[in-house]
Amino acid sequence: MTVGLIALGAGLAIGLCALATGWAQARIGAAAVGAILEKPESLGTVIILLVIPETLVIFGFTVAILILTTLK
């Protein structure tokens, strides 16, 4: 039971963060395509903006790993 709850917690940690990252990247990506069409030289800035939300899922992944290490 405890193992199951720990695994569920780890899954939620990464799953919810991934959803949040996806939601943010979808919005940024849509705006980014428009920005690049208008101003192709903004590609560098756009890539930076696009990968910023990935920090969320990385943190989620790290938290998931930390949760799973308690199983040892």
* Contacts of another protein in 49-68 (CB under 8 A): 51-52, 54-55, 57-59, 61-62, 65-66, 68
Residue 29 CB, shortest distance to another protein, in Å, is 13
Assess 9 for contact with another protein (CB under 8 A).
no
Amino acid in the structure at residue 1? M
CA dihedral 13, 16, 22, 27 (to 10 degrees): -130
Q: Which two tokens stand for residue 55?
A: 């920090």
Phi, psi for 70 (deg, rounded to 5)? -70, -15
User: What is the rounded CA–CA span in Å between residue 19 and residue 13?
Assistant: 10
Residue 44 CB, shortest distance to another protein, in Å, is 3
Residues in contact with another protein by the rule CB under 8 A: 43-44, 47-48, 51-52, 54-55, 57-59, 61-62, 65-66, 68-69
